[in-house]
Amino acid sequence: MIKTSKSESIAANINIGVVGGAISACAIAILLHRAGANVKIFERSKGNLEDRGVGLTMKISTLNEAIRRDLIDADMPYVPVWQRTFGRKHTSKATYSTPWNDYWKQPIAFHANHWGVLYRSLRKRVPDNIYQAGSEVTHLRENDDQTVSIRIKNKNWQTFDLVICADGYESLGRKTLYPKSEISGAKYFLWRGMIDESTLPIPSMYESCIPFFGYPYGHGFVYYVPSPKYGAEVGKRRVNWAFHETIANKNIPGITPDDKGFVRKGLAPGEASVEQAAYCHKIAQKYFPTYFSDVVTATKQPFIQPVRDWNVPSYVRGRICLMGDGATLSRPHIGGGAGKAIDDAIALANSFEKHKDLDVALSHWNDERCAAGTEVWEMGRTLGYHLVESTPDWDSMDSKSMDTWWKNIMKDRKWFWVDEVVDWHPTENARSCSKLC
């Protein structure tokens, strides 16, 4: 049994292996290494992860806590987003000042980030001597003395007091603990892309705002994220866009559903064929207001993100923890994967600080984070149903019917965290709307 003296952290001197080397892995490794644990990270990829990834959205309180804990730079660039609008094509001609018709506005509160920028800020706090790139973990074994052994591809076994699987959507930890668990797919997917802000004809349309454009097969959206090179400097940011597309009864070049009708395989940036890119551009031009379809069409290489999810019944078994996407992957409608991964890591470090017995610390963490994971997983499914699989007739909606529609979807839940910042939210109607958001 691992216990500590009164003054010592439970983490002090215990041996911890972390499987994976991205967002949740770096966050937990930094915190537990500082608390005195002997941490080793095993990341499968050899190359620099920083060069990959596009946009993501994060809760403001998570970013503030990550700064307070010195997980990321206090001046890490971000783009604040305070409002979501729902727009559609004008029935008459669009003009420069009104390129589409907004029929609903809603206060929201998140900071848009770039995956590479966030990763860079975390990774530089992980000492190089504890980060082993090019090390794929192939096996996990629980031993009789409560330790856990892992096998690194083409290398020997190594044994730890605790193994944290922060290994994302293909998690070996999840497959080992829940061998019968299946990743759920969806009968829709996301077209995605990114272009430079400098290429936009009316950049102000997206300032502080995330416009949504409904269509019969889901919706599109667009927001600014910082550029890895120039940060959040106006004029030099990146424009992150996406739209969903359902797959049933369609002939989408190169995209074939499995026998359940799910889209399992995506397209990485750079992989789209000429036919696929042309198809994506054509859909955008057919259904969306010109100014959004222009952004899509300006993207020479759109890519495809499949939609999948799962949620495990427990984040802990013995001395194995599952964390981040390895434990709960929610559909992307929530936009909170990276934030939830950092929240998981901070909560585990907090539990280590609070409790003096390792099993007690793990059990408290499990109760807290498993419940949080289940909530986002369920909400991702609900939003996917209403925003993509069973959309309202967007053209007939107005501000009042949108309020009712949203209230019925959310019931008592909150999305995009306005309540956390309601006292200083910059939009006028944040306080009156916070119940709806």
Ligand X SMILES: Cc1cc2nc3c(=O)[nH]c(=O)nc-3n(C[C@H](O)[C@H](O)[C@H](O)COP(=O)(O)OP(=O)(O)OC[C@H]3O[C@@H](n4cnc5c(N)ncnc54)[C@H](O)[C@@H]3O)c2cc1C
| Among the residue ranges 166-174, 254-262, 296-304, 383-391, the one whose residues contact ligand X (CB under 6 A) | 166-174
Contact residues for 228 (Cβ-Cβ < 8 A; gap 6+) = 50, 114, 116, 117, 120
Sign of CA dihedral 33, 326, 167, 80: negative
- Helix H or strand E segment including 107: strand 101-114
The three-state secondary structure class of 435 is coil
Question: Is 162 near ligand X (CB under 6 A)?
Answer: no
d(CA 127, CA 40): 10
- Of the two residues 334 and 397, which places its CB atom closer to ligand X in the complex? 334
> Which one of the spans 37-45, 120-128, 244-252, 380-388 is the region binding ligand X (CB under 6 A)?
37-45
Nearer to ligand X, 305 or 427 (CB): 305
For the bound state, the minimum distance from the C-beta of residue 253 to ligand X, rounded and expressed in Å, comes to 24
For the CA atoms of 208, 336, 304, 329, the dihedral, rounded to the nearest 10 degrees, stands at -170
Residues 259-278 that bind ligand X (CB under 6 A): none
Residue 53 found at the interface with ligand X (CB under 6 A): yes
In the window 318-347, what residues touch ligand X (CB under 6 A)?
A: 324-326, 337-338, 341
Q: Within a 10 A sphere around the Cβ of 169, how many other Cβ atoms?
A: 15
Q: Is 380 in the site for ligand X (CB under 6 A)?
A: no
Q: Is 14 left (phi over 0), alpha (psi -120 to 50) or beta?
A: beta
Buried b (16+ CB within 10 A) or exposed e, 186-217: bbbbbbbbbbebeebeeeebbeebbbbbbbeb
Is residue 169 involved in binding ligand X (CB under 6 A)? yes
Task: Pick the closer one to ligand X by CB: 168 or 226.
Answer: 168
Closest CB 371 distance from ligand X, rounded Å: 18
Min CB(311)–ligand X separation in Å: 14
242 binds ligand X (CB under 6 A): no
Identify residues 120-149 at the interface with ligand X (CB under 6 A): 136-137
Between 100 and 119, CB nearer to ligand X: 119
Nearer to ligand X, 21 or 214 (CB): 21
For residues 317 and 131, give the distance between their C-alpha atoms in angstroms, rounded to a whole number: 25
Q: How many CB atoms lie within 10 A of CB 102?
A: 14
CB of 365 to ligand X, least distance (A): 15
Choice from 10, 11, 14, 25 touching ligand X (CB under 6 A): 25
Q: How many chain residues are in contact with ligand X, going by CB under 6 A?
A: 32
Q: How far is the CB of 41 from ligand X (least distance, A)?
A: 9
- Contact segment (CB under 6 A) with ligand X among 49-57, 72-80, 178-186, 212-220 equals 49-57
Nearest approach, Cβ of 270 to ligand X (angstroms)?
14
| Smallest separation (angstroms) from ligand X to the CB of 225 | 9
CA distance 354 to 359: 12
Q: What six digits make up the tokens of 135?
A: 């090390």
* Cβ 145 to ligand X shortest distance, Å: 24
Report the residue number, 127 or 216, with the smaller CB distance to ligand X: 127
In contact, 324 and 7? CB cutoff 8 Å = no
From CA 346, how far away is CA 350, in angstroms rounded? 6
- Are 404 and 233 in contact by the 8 Å Cβ rule? The answer is no
Query: By CB under 6 A, which span of 165-173, 244-252, 358-366, 402-410 interacts with ligand X?
Result: 165-173
**Which token pair is 180?**
């019968």
Instruction: State how far the alpha carbon of 272 is from the alpha carbons of 202, 305, 307, in Å.
Output: 27, 12, 18
Q: Give the nearer residue to ligand X in terms of CB position, either 140 or 284.
A: 140
Residue 22 or 433 having the CB closest to ligand X: 22
Considering only 32, 43, 100, 232, the residue that binds ligand X (CB under 6 A) is 43
Residues 68-127 that bind ligand X (CB under 6 A): 115
**Least distance in angstroms from the C-beta of 298 to ligand X:** 19
Phi/psi-derived region of residue 392, left when phi > 0, alpha when psi is between -120 and 50, beta in every other case: beta
Quote the CA–CA distance of 428 and 66 in Å, as a whole number: 28
Q: How far is the CB of 384 from ligand X (least distance, A)?
A: 15
Q: Which residue has the tokens 């790139």?
A: 133
What residues between 3 and 22 interact with ligand X by CB under 6 A? 19-22
191: nearest Cα among 226, 241, 238 = 241
> Which positions lie near ligand X, rule CB under 6 A?
19-25, 42-45, 49, 52-56, 115, 136-137, 166-170, 172, 324-326, 337-338, 341
